[in-house]
């Protein structure tokens, strides 16, 4: 009798766990597959990364594995993404693999059952073990629920980089034609224009490396305009406390964000 009660308690907890995992997984829109796993020596060795992406797509996940399909809504809300990883479990006569999914805060959202294989050929053994690990994924019946929606990004700040901060705001507004006609010319205007032109010559952003990414510092005000954090994609960075991403192509930096149902790409003027 005691054994039966223990069995039903175990069954209850197992059902609850599966239900919790399914509800949690359905909140996420994308899953990222890395180019290589830490226990392998090269990219996509034994085609294990390609197989991972294929199996995720088979079970209705939207897979990201390159910058080419980096979506705008993810740029605005990086917590829509789950990061996948495959862990090799030590075994003497068996190949054992386990799949893990972590969220944007590196919390483990899901861990699969350990997939096993007794095959001696490395490629076949790894692929069989991975397929067996994905049996747990199939049981989730994943279907994106849209619970984690992207917040509507605020309008980007506008900085007039050519005008000294010490100049009152009212002086930066253009005068109407009537006022321009009535106002007598002043000699101070010429020096003000000269000062603005001189500052325009050095307008730009200084790119300073940090532990987790870069800071973009205004050369005139010395304020940090953008602080960015590295992502799993090469030369692609998430902007802290601002919508969008910043990425580098060649020697140029670009900011991309979503505003009023449009994708806006802005070239950042950086100084050498």
- pLDDT, average across residues 198-227: 84
- The more confidently predicted of residues 153 and 99 is 99
Tell me what pLDDT residue 3 has. Answer: 52
Q: What pLDDT, in 10s, does the model give residues 8-22? A: 444 444 444 444 444
User: In the structure, what pLDDT confidence band is assigned to residue 212 with cuts at 50, 70 and 90?
Assistant: confident
3-state SS class at 128? helix
pLDDT at 55 over 60: yes
Separation CA 51–CA 54 (nearest Å)? 5
- Sheet strands side by side (includes 236-239): 205-209, 213-218, 224-230, 236-239, 245-249, 252-259, 262-268
Tokens 């079970």 sit on residue = 59
User: In the structure, what pLDDT confidence band is assigned to residue 165 with cuts at 50, 70 and 90?
Assistant: very low
User: In the structure, what pLDDT confidence band is assigned to residue 1 with cuts at 50, 70 and 90?
Assistant: low
Domain boundaries, the chain: 19-138, 169-268
Q: What pLDDT, in 10s, does the model give residues 177-193? A: 444 445 545 544 445 54
Tell me what pLDDT residue 231 has. Answer: 82
- pLDDT, average across residues 130-134: 96
pLDDT at 127 over 50: yes
User: In the structure, what pLDDT confidence band is assigned to residue 244 with cuts at 50, 70 and 90?
Assistant: confident
3-state SS class at 71? coil
Write down the CATH number for the domain with range 19-138: 3.40.50
Q: What pLDDT, in 10s, does the model give residues 65-104? A: 765 556 778 877 888 999 999 999 988 889 999 999 999 8
This prediction's pTM: 0.53
DSSP 22-68: HHHHTT--EEE--SS-TTSSSTTGGGHHHHHHHHHHHTT-EEE-SGG
Separation CA 122–CA 87 (nearest Å)? 15
């Amino acid at each position: 009798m005691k054994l039966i009660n223990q069995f039903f308690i175990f069954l209850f907890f197992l059902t609850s766990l599966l239900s919790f995992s399914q509800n949690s997984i359905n909140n996420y829109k994308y899953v990222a597959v890395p180019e290589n796993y830490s226990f392998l020596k090269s990219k996509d060795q034994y085609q294990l990364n390609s197989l991972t992406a294929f199996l995720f797509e088979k079970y209705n996940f939207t897979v990201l594995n390159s910058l080419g399909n980096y979506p705008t809504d993810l740029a605005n809300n990086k917590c829509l993404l789950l990061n996948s990883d495959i862990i090799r479990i030590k075994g003497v006569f068996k190949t054992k693999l386990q799949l893990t999914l972590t969220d944007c805060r590196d919390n483990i959202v899901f861990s699969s059952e350990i997939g096993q294989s007794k095959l001696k050929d490395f490629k076949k053994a790894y692929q069989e073990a991975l397929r067996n690990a994905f049996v747990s994924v199939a049981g989730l019946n994943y279907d994106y629920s849209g619970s984690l929606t992207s917040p509507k990004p605020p309008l980007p700040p506008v900085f007039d980089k050519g005008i000294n901060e010490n100049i009152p705001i009212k002086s930066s507004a253009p005068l109407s034609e009537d006022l321009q006609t009535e106002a007598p010319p002043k000699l101070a205007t010429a020096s003000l224009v000269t000062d603005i032109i001189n500052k325009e010559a050095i307008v730009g952003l200084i790119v300073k490396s940090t532990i987790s990414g870069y800071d973009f510092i205004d050369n005139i005000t010395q304020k940090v305009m953008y602080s960015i954090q590295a992502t799993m994609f090469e030369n692609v960075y998430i902007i802290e406390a601002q919508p969008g991403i910043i990425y580098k192509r060649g020697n140029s930096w670009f900011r991309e964000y979503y505003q009023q149902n449009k994708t806006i790409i802005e070239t950042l003027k950086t100084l050498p």
